[in-house]
Amino acid sequence: MRGRLSRTDLLVLSVVVIWAASFSVVKYALREIGPLALASVRFAAASAILLVWAWVAEGKPAIRREDWVRTLLVGLTAIGAYQVFFTVGLKYTTASNSSLMLATIPAWTAMFAAASGQERIVPLQIVGMSLSFIGVALAIRGGGTGFQLAWSSVRGDAMTLIAAALSGASAVLSRRLLAKYSALRMMSVSMLCGSLFLVIVSVPEMAAQEWSHLSPVTWLALAFSVVPAATVAYVIWFKSIGEIGASRTVIYNNLIPPVAILIALTALGERLTALQAVGAGIVLGGVVLTRFAQARGLDPESTAQVPSGGGSG
C-alpha cells in the first residue's frame, strides 16, 4: 500500500543504524589500533568480500581500459584518501562532530557538480550550503575550545571536512562510470583501488601495530566495521537503489548524523553542548535544503549512487 514502509525501506533503515553506529565503533577501535592500520585492514577485507559478491552476482567485474583512470580516481576519493582523512580525523575529534562534518557532503557534491558544469546551483542550494558550514563552525566552537588557529585544536574536524570534500568529489567523478557500469561493479573495483592505496600508505603503521595485544572487544569492533558496515550495508544499499530508486534511497542519509550523535552520547559518553546542538540542527537543515533543492542540468540519480554513510562509517 502506498505510504507504507516496504521491506526495502526497513532494510535501508537498518543501514542507517549500522552506519551511524560505525562512528562510535571505529572511535572505540582507534583506542587500540592506529587509524591507518584500521582503515587498511577494514577496507582490504571489505573489498575482497565485495569483489566476490560482484563476481557471483554479475560475472567478472571487468572495467574497460579507457575507464581505469577515472575508476582509480573514484577509488582514491571515495575510499583511499577519504579513509585516511576520515579515520585519522576521527581519532582527534568526537564521533558526534565527525558525523556533522560528513553531513556537509551534499554541499560539497553540489559545489563540485557546479564547478564541473554538471549542475547549476539554485538559490535555495546556496542557502543550504551556507547553513551547513555555519552549523559546522558552531559545532566546532561549541566543543569548548572556541575558534583557534592551532592545528592541534581543530585538526580532527578539519581532516574530516577534507574527507567530506573528497566524498563529494567522488560522487561527481563517478557519474560517467555509472552510465556504463552497475553501481555494484564500479564500487567493488574502485574499492579495491582505494584499498591498495590504503595498504601502501599504512605499511609502517601496520608493521608497528601489536595485533596480538588487541582486546576481544576491539576485534569485535573491527569485525563490525568490516562485515556489517563496509560489506553487508553496501549490498543492502545497492539493492535498495535497484528496487526503490536512488533518490528515494539517499533520503535516508539525512538520518545518519542525528542517529550517530545519539549513539555516541550513549555508548561513548560524549557530551553535546547547547551550542553544538544548535550547530547540529543548522547542519541538518542545510543538508535538507541542499539535498532537496531542485537543481537544473543534473539527474539526482547520478550522484546518489556512491553512498556517504557506509563509506564514511
pLDDT tens digits for 150-183? 455 578 888 989 998 998 888 788 878 877 888 7
The pLDDT-based confidence of 139 (bands split at 50, 70, 90) is low
User: Angle formed by the axes of helices 105-115 and 274-292, to 10°?
Assistant: 40
Provide the mean pLDDT of the chain. Answer: 79
Asked if residue 43 has pLDDT above 60, the reply is yes
Neighbours of 218 (CB within 10 A): 18
pLDDT band at 10 (very low <50, low <70, confident <90, very high): confident
Domain boundaries along the sequence of the chain: 7-312
Residue 47 to residue 186: CA distance in whole angstroms: 12
What residues contact residue 215 under an 8 Å CB cut-off, 6+ apart? 32
